[in-house]
Amino acid sequence: MANYNIDAKKNMTYDAIVIGSGISGGWAAKELCEGGLKTLVLERGRIVEHVVDYPTMNKDPWDLELRGALGPEDLKKHAIGARAGFVGANNEHFYANDEENPYTEVKPFLWVRGHQMGGRSLLWGKQCYRWSDLDFEANAKDGHGVDWPLRYKDVESWYTYVEKFAGISGQALGLPQLPDSHFLPPMELNCVEKDIKSRIEKEFPGRVMTIGRVAHLTEPLNGRGQCQFRNRCDRGCPFGAYFSSNAVTLPAANATGNLTIRPYSIVNSIIYDEKKGKATGVRIIDAETNEYIEFYAKIIFCNASSLSTTQILLNSTSDRFENGLGNDSGELGHNLMDHTYRVGAMGKLEGYEDKYYKGRRPNGIYIPRYVNIDEKTKTDKFVRGFGYQGGGGRGNWSAGANQEQFGAEFKDSLMKPGPWEFFITGFAECLPYHENKVTLDKENVDKWGQPTLAIDCEFKENEKAINRQIKSDAVEMLEKAGVKDIVGFDNEHEPGYGIHEMGTARMGRDPRTSVLNGTNQIHAAKNVFVTDGACMTSSSCVNPSLTYMALTARAANHAISELKKKNL
Q: How far is the CB of 437 from another protein (least distance, A)?
A: 27
- Told to check if 473 binds another protein by CB under 8 A, we report no
Q: Looking only at residues 356 through 395 of this chain, which bind another protein when binding is defined by CB under 8 A?
A: 356-361, 394
Stretch that binds another protein, among 130-138, 153-161, 399-407, 443-451 (CB under 8 A): 399-407
Stretch that binds another protein, among 101-109, 256-264, 485-493, 553-561 (CB under 8 A): 485-493
Report whether 552 contacts 521 (CB < 8 A): no
- Told to check if 355 binds another protein by CB under 8 A, we report yes
Q: What is the DSSP letter of 63?
A: G
Q: What is d(CA 478, CA 495) in angstroms, rounded to the nearest whole number?
A: 26
Q: What is d(CA 429, CA 425) in angstroms, rounded to the nearest whole number?
A: 13
Q: What is d(CA 126, CA 166) in angstroms, rounded to the nearest whole number?
A: 11
Report whether 420 contacts 76 (CB < 8 A): no
Nearest CB to another protein, comparing residues 66 and 173: 66
Q: How far is the CB of 404 from another protein (least distance, A)?
A: 4
Stretch that binds another protein, among 3-11, 181-189, 377-385, 510-518 (CB under 8 A): 181-189
Q: Looking only at residues 243 through 272 of this chain, which bind another protein when binding is defined by CB under 8 A?
A: none
Q: What is d(CA 23, CA 436) in angstroms, rounded to the nearest whole number?
A: 24
Q: How many residues bind another protein (CB under 8 A)?
A: 61
Residue 58 burial (C-beta neighbours within 10 Å; 0-12, 13-18, 19+): exposed
- Told to check if 204 binds another protein by CB under 8 A, we report no
- Which phi and psi angles does 4 have, rounded to 5°? -110, 125
Report whether 35 contacts 316 (CB < 8 A): no
Among 2, 189, 457, 553, binds another protein (CB under 8 A): 189
- Told to check if 346 binds another protein by CB under 8 A, we report yes
Q: Looking only at residues 64 through 123 of this chain, which bind another protein when binding is defined by CB under 8 A?
A: 65-72, 75, 85-86
Stretch that binds another protein, among 152-160, 222-230, 285-293, 368-376 (CB under 8 A): 222-230
- Told to check if 7 binds another protein by CB under 8 A, we report no
Q: Please provide the DSSP assignment of 390-456 as one string.
A: EEEEE--GGGGGTSS--SHHHHHHTTS---EEEEEEEEE-----TTSEEEEEEEEE-TTS-EEEEEE
Nearest CB to another protein, comparing residues 295 and 497: 497
Long-range contacts of 64-67 (CB under 8 A, 24+ apart): 64/89, 64/90
Among 487, 510, 512, 567, binds another protein (CB under 8 A): 487
Q: Is 362 helix (H, G, I), strand (E, B) or coil?
A: coil
Residue partners of 2: CB distance under 8 A and separation at least 6: 250, 253, 254, 259, 260, 261
Q: How far is the CB of 471 from another protein (least distance, A)?
A: 11
What residues make contact with another protein under the rule CB under 8 A?
Answer: 58, 60-62, 65-72, 75, 85-86, 187-191, 193-194, 228-230, 342, 344, 346, 353-361, 394, 396-398, 400-402, 404-408, 410-412, 414-417, 423, 425, 487, 489, 491
